[in-house]
Structure 1
């Protein structure tokens, strides 16, 4: 997968090769960079965040989840209008997390 650094360095090399071109070519180059950044960086992040929010809204009691900190647990209850979730991480051990801290469902 392309990283932002690889894309940026490739575009800079292209810009340096285009240095002798007209100013119109230079001004057309900037929107091309912005469009490429949108499709390669911003759009995939939006899709992932949408999937994650959908997963969080569909959580139910008894679902096994993993938090951002790597803690594995089972959903026991929801509190504060589904803003927080209580996870069972062991025998008689429950912890409360914000629902935004849930990374994925197992």
Structure 2
């Protein structure tokens, strides 16, 4: 059987103080991690999304583009207030995509 007679009130108080210090440290670390996550993950994604939206707004007929699915094509026309785009992918073959499906503009 275990004997816990060595646990005097002084030792218990010290253990409680140590627990309070570690919980305070945990409360300080959480906001620091959230700020780091914002600068390492969220902010770069916002910048990339802004650049992509700007690229999509500047698309014109005749631009060569790549879609999210990897399809390469040339813009033939825009439809539905630029919500959809018609791409020419081969001779006499046109495919309609949502404008948001365009990943990048080829040089």
TM-score normalised according to structure 1 size: 0.79
Aligned to 2:94: 94
Unaligned runs of 5+ in 1: 1-18
**Change beyond 3 A, Cα 1:21–1:40:** farther
Q: Which has the larger radius of gyration?
A: 2
Aligned to 1:74: 74
SS in 2 for 1:59: coil
Kindly report structure 1 stretches of 4+ aligned residues shifted beyond 3 Å: none
Unaligned runs of 5+ in 2: 1-17
Aligned to 1:36: 36
- How many equivalent pairs are there? 88
Give the superposed CA RMSD.
Answer: 1.5
